[in-house]
Amino acid sequence: MWTEYHMARHEVRLTLAAIIERRGAGIAFPTRTLHIPNEVRLANESHGLTDGRSGQDEGRMGRAGRNGTRERAKPRRSAERAKEGYTAALKGVQMMRIAALLTVGIVLGLGIDRAPVHAQGRTVFDGVYSEAQAARGEAAYAAHCSSCHMPSLRGFFDGGMAASIIGEGFVNNWTAGTLLDLFAKIKDTMPYEAADTVSDADKLDIMTYVLKRNAFPAGDADLALDEGALSDVLVAPKGGLPPPASGQMVRALGCLSLGPNGTFVLTRSTAPKRIKNPLASRGAALKAAATEPLADANVQLLDVFPKPTNHVGHRVEAKGLLITEPSLGINVIAFTMVAENCGS
Ligand code: HEC
């Protein structure tokens, strides 16, 4: 029950943050608590927090799936117009819900004055797959995906929706994510309601075809079916991501310390970095965090539940929404103990 409440709350936050950001605004924190009635689900939630591994999404996937299946038999007549109307209606509903739900101030223009782009590791612009791999992917796409996402990759809309997996909207949706995030989505949930009918290797090839169709260039070598390799490649604009703005999803790694008045602070923290997936790190990512160099930021942690008193002095990772005023902080969604000492 508590977990469900938290998942719903975070999903709403994520979706709102994305909507607000798309409109060129930022969120003015602090927002310690959002009170959300149980039944509230945002209508475009299929683009929110989706890690099929969690199993939390099954309800809505089932709904969309029935629609999606029914849709395929129908002609595509006026699908585009219907989609536009739907999107407009959706926006209206969302804005009302924002007004109803949020206790935060929306400050227009916050996102405009961004500092220059930071240098990053590999991005999708760095030739991370081969032409041969994308060609294999094209054939597998035709066999397993195009019935819903269409040869155009644009999906369809007519009461149900197979998402568009091409163009600005798609790329924005995955920006700040890694190829592991995108692959996890495909691996765990696609083909829709039949995820185990296609091998991981074929899905990987298909993903490289999707990258190619989105104009991310090919390189010399295949993209490897390897967690580390996939998590190494960021979906980001050419030249990397700009520094995160208030309200965006970020991750920081530091030493958990007590602040004033029973608060918690990450000291010696890395600078908060934008991410897409706010779920706690595990596996290879968690292991890598144990030896990742720390830095010199101080990051307040808000809304950590349960109180992490037992982890003071430990190396911990926090993911959540960035707060920049009055001081640097994270409204925490995932809190993970990485090591029992802070290390260097
Ligand atoms: C039976 C129809 C169907 C088939 C077949 C299908 N999909 Fe999907 N796909 C959907 C629906 C519906 C959604 C939206 C719901 C969701 O995100 O889970 C979706 C969403 C997606 C998304 C997420 C888009 C985004 O930005 O959120 C990706 C990526 C994707 N599909 C890739 C694939 C790939 C790759 C294949 C083939 C292996 C495939 N799909 C096969 C119906 C389908």
234 Cβ closer than 6 Å to some ligand 1 atom: no
61 Cβ closer than 6 Å to some ligand 1 atom: yes
**Whole-angstrom distance, CA of residue 274 vs CA of residue 251:** 6
Q: From the CA of 170, how far away is ligand 1's center (Å)? A: 12
pLDDT at 158: 53
Is residue 2 classed exposed, middle or buried when 0-12, 13-18 and 19+ CB atoms within 10 A define those classes?
A: exposed
Please determine, for residue 16, whether its predicted confidence score (pLDDT) is greater than 70: no
Please determine, for residue 334, whether its predicted confidence score (pLDDT) is greater than 90: yes
Q: From the CA of 244, how far away is ligand 1's center (Å)? A: 28
Please choose from 11, 60, 66, 149 the residue to mutate so as to test ligand 1's pocket, defined by most ligand atoms within 8 A of CB.
149
Per-residue pLDDT, averaged over 34-41, amounts to 40
173 Cβ closer than 6 Å to some ligand 1 atom: yes
One-letter amino acid at 263 equals T
Q: From the CA of 191, how far away is ligand 1's center (Å)? A: 6
Q: Among 4-18, 108-122, 148-162, 262-276, which range has the highest average pLDDT?
A: 262-276
Which atom from ligand 1 is nearest to the alpha carbon of 141?
Answer: 37
213 Cβ closer than 6 Å to some ligand 1 atom: no
187 Cβ closer than 6 Å to some ligand 1 atom: no
Q: From the CA of 133, how far away is ligand 1's center (Å)? A: 20
- H helix intervals, the chain: 2-22, 58-73, 79-101, 131-144, 146-149, 168-174, 179-189, 200-213, 227-231, 283-291
pLDDT at 152: 93
pLDDT category of residue 343 using cuts at 50, 70 and 90: confident
Q: How large a percentage of the chain has pLDDT more than 70?
A: 64
Q: From the CA of 317, how far away is ligand 1's center (Å)? A: 31
CATH topology of domain 131-231: Cytochrome Bc1 Complex; Chain D, domain 2 (1.10.760)
Domain ranges of the chain: 2-108, 131-231, 249-339
Please determine, for residue 195, whether its predicted confidence score (pLDDT) is greater than 70: yes
Q: From the CA of 165, how far away is ligand 1's center (Å)? A: 8
pLDDT category of residue 161 using cuts at 50, 70 and 90: confident
Q: How large a percentage of the chain has pLDDT more than 90?
A: 55
Which atom from ligand 1 is nearest to the alpha carbon of 207?
Answer: 35
Residue, of 7 and 28, whose pLDDT is higher? 7
Per-residue pLDDT, averaged over 61-73, amounts to 39
Q: From the CA of 190, how far away is ligand 1's center (Å)? A: 5
Q: Which residue has the tokens 């066999």?
A: 143
pLDDT at 160: 56
Q: Which residue has the tokens 């959706």?
A: 90
* Pairing mode of beta strands 156-157, 105-108: unpaired
247 Cβ closer than 6 Å to some ligand 1 atom: no
Within 8 A by CB and 6+ apart from 262, the residues are none
Q: What is the pLDDT of residues 92-102, one digit of tens each?
A: 444 443 333 33
Q: Whose CA is nearest to atom 4 of ligand 1?
A: 191
208 Cβ closer than 6 Å to some ligand 1 atom: no
pLDDT at 344: 76
Q: Which of 145, 126, 137, 133 is CA-nearest to residue 224?
A: 133
Give, for 334, the enclosing helix (H) or strand (E): strand 329-339
One-letter amino acid at 67 equals N
**Whole-angstrom distance, CA of residue 161 vs CA of residue 263:** 44
Which atom from ligand 1 is nearest to the alpha carbon of 145?
Answer: 37
Lowest average pLDDT, out of 108-117, 216-225, 287-296, goes to 108-117
197 Cβ closer than 6 Å to some ligand 1 atom: no
pLDDT category of residue 68 using cuts at 50, 70 and 90: very low
Q: What is the pLDDT of residues 271-309, one digit of tens each?
A: 999 999 899 998 888 998 999 999 999 999 998 989 999
189 Cβ closer than 6 Å to some ligand 1 atom: yes
CATH architecture for the domain at 249-339: Beta Barrel (2.40)
